[in-house]
Structure 1
Amino acid sequence: SIFEGFSSSLSFQCLSDSDLELSTVRHQPEGLEQLQAQTKFTKKELQSLYRGFKNECPSGLVDEETFKTIYSQFFPQGDATTYAHFLFNAFDLDRNGSIRFEDFVIGLSVLLRGSVTEKLNWAFNLYDINKDGYITKEEMLLIMKSIYDMMGRYTYPCVRDEAPSEHVEKFFQKMDRNRDGVVTIEEFIETCQKLHKLLLTMQTFT
């Protein structure tokens, strides 16, 4: 998946340390046992993830520009900047402009090992750009356009300029079940669970 590649891009290596190394970072993450309880990673995996995170971000925090640089490496044929911005905001749970190690591993745990419902909750948060609890057609279109930009114009078969809008119209018609112009998390999850092809589309880009 995209996020497995994202993890490996941070040079994650297995450690034999008995606990997380905390002495050299300005932001000290929560204890190992607490992170084990909050995620589906083992102690050894958390140690490995932390070493890679610390190597790339000695401060213990990832700012948006660093995140964009790392993520864009996976899509050299396109422009991943806008999608990476939305993705960064989905990881930045406290909205302070940086991603802590805790934010990173909790999100990664959901995306790699979460249940279908957990993944869909995370995806809804990604699509809900202004975090008001609803997805509008405009928000979905912004995300969809950023995905097309990320995949590049030179994909095969060739993508038409109107394709993002057409996809949004189809998705929104299926999701907005009560036709009130917005999609709630209940509508989003129910629709995605019922429509297997739509579910696969969402998982591809999260």
Structure 2
Amino acid sequence: MVRHQPEGLEQLQAQTKFTRKELQSLYRGFKNECPSGLVDEETFKSIYSQFLPQGDATTYAHFLFNAFDMDRNGSIRFEDFVIGLSVLLRGSVTEKLRWAFNLYDINKDGYITREEMLAIMKSIYDMMGRYTFPCVKDDAAFEHVEQFFQKMDRNRDGVVTIDEFIETCQKDENIMSSMQLFENVI
């Protein structure tokens, strides 16, 4: 079995907004779930699905895995995980928005298309489960994507660039308040 040794704590501390103690705690949890020091996609899906038992988190977990798998080698190293987590939990608004853009840009071409956005939205609705209240209509994901593109695709070229994404999100109060939700969770 391939084992991965993470970079030194000092280097990770410099790259993240976590303290030494927090990094040690995160590493213990990571190693407990993934003794090899690497997480493959199936393990990631399994772990992630435990948090959302009411729906099917498989597809969303796939997209999330790809956002964390920075070097695209099919596994997440502790460093990848902790750097992404640092951005999500303690990053600036712009850093969080860049991370979110990366999640939605499935093929990593620098643009979000309607198809990419729809794939992500459908996976989110699947993850929420059929038994959410109020009930989610079948065409809700499509409607959500259409609203998203109305706001974001400023030049009407059918794709959303990182600049369009960040600028629009920063002007939207609902998006901005949801970005603040997870700060300092750990």
Given the superposition, is the C-alpha separation of residues 160 and 203 from structure 1 closer, same or farther in structure 2, using an over 3 Å criterion? Answer: farther
Q: Residues 161, 204 of structure 1: CA spacing in aligned structure 2 closer, same or farther, 3 A cutoff?
A: farther
Confirm whether residue 169 of structure 1 aligns to residue 149 of structure 2: no
Identity %: 88
Pick from 21, 25, 50: which aligns with 1:44? 21
**Structure 1 residue 50, shift from structure 2 partner:** 0.8
Detail structure 1 runs of 4+ shifted over 2 Å in the superposition. Answer: 198-205
CA RMSD of aligned residues (A): 1.6
Amino acid at match of 1:191: T
- Determine whether 1:150 maps to 2:127: yes
Q: CA deviation at 1:51?
A: 1.1
Given that residues 93 and 179 in structure 2 are in contact (C-alpha distance below 8 angstroms), is that contact kept between their aligned partners in structure 1?
no
Judged with a 3 Å threshold, the aligned counterparts in structure 2 of structure 1 residues 138 and 204 are, in CA distance, closer, same or farther, namely: farther
Residues 134-174 of structure 1: per-residue CA shift (max 9 Å, x gap): 00010000000000000011111111101100010001110
Q: How far 1:190 sits from its partner (Å)? A: 0.2
Cα drift, residue 52 of structure 1:
1.1
Over residues 38-84 of structure 1, what are the superposed CA-to-partner deviations in whole Å (9 max), with x where a residue is unaligned? 00000111111111111111111000011001111111110000000
TM-score (norm 1): 0.85
Question: Could you tell me how far 1:198 is from its partner in structure 2?
Answer: 3.5
How many positions carry a matched residue from both structures? 181
Q: TM-score, normalised by structure 2?
A: 0.93
SS at match of 1:146: helix
CA distance 1:176–1:126, shift in 2 (3 Å): same
Alpha-carbon separation, structure 2, partners of 1:189 and 1:99: 26
Unaligned runs of 5+ in 1: 1-24
